[in-house]
Structure 1
Amino acid sequence: MSTTNSYQGYPQQPMQGYAPPAPRKSFIATWLFALFLGVFGVDRFYLGKVGTGLLKLFTIGGLGVWVLVDLILVLAGKQRDKSGAPLDGYDKSKTVAWIVTGVLIVISAVFGQTSSGGTAGAGLPSPDTAPVQQAPAAAPAAKEAPAPAKQEKKWTKVTTLKGSNDKASGVFELTGAEARLTYDFAGKGSFLLGSVYLEEEGVDLMTDGGIPLLMLDKAEKSSTALHKKAGNYYLDVNAAGFAGWTITVEEKR
Structure 2
Amino acid sequence: MTARDDLRELPSPKSFIVTWILSVFLGGLGIDRMYLGKWGTAILKLVTVGGFGFWYLLDVIFTLIGISRDAEGRRVRGSSTAHVVAWIVAILVLAGGGTGAGVTQPWQSRQSADAGPPVDASALPAPEAGWERISSGSGHGAVTMSGTVADPGAELRLSWAVPDSGASLTVRVSDDSGILIERRLDSTAITAGESEPVETAGGDIVVDVSGAGAWALALDQR
TM-score over 0.5 for the pair: no
More strand by share: 2
Q: TM-score, normalised by structure 2?
A: 0.42
Q: TM-score, normalised by structure 1?
A: 0.37
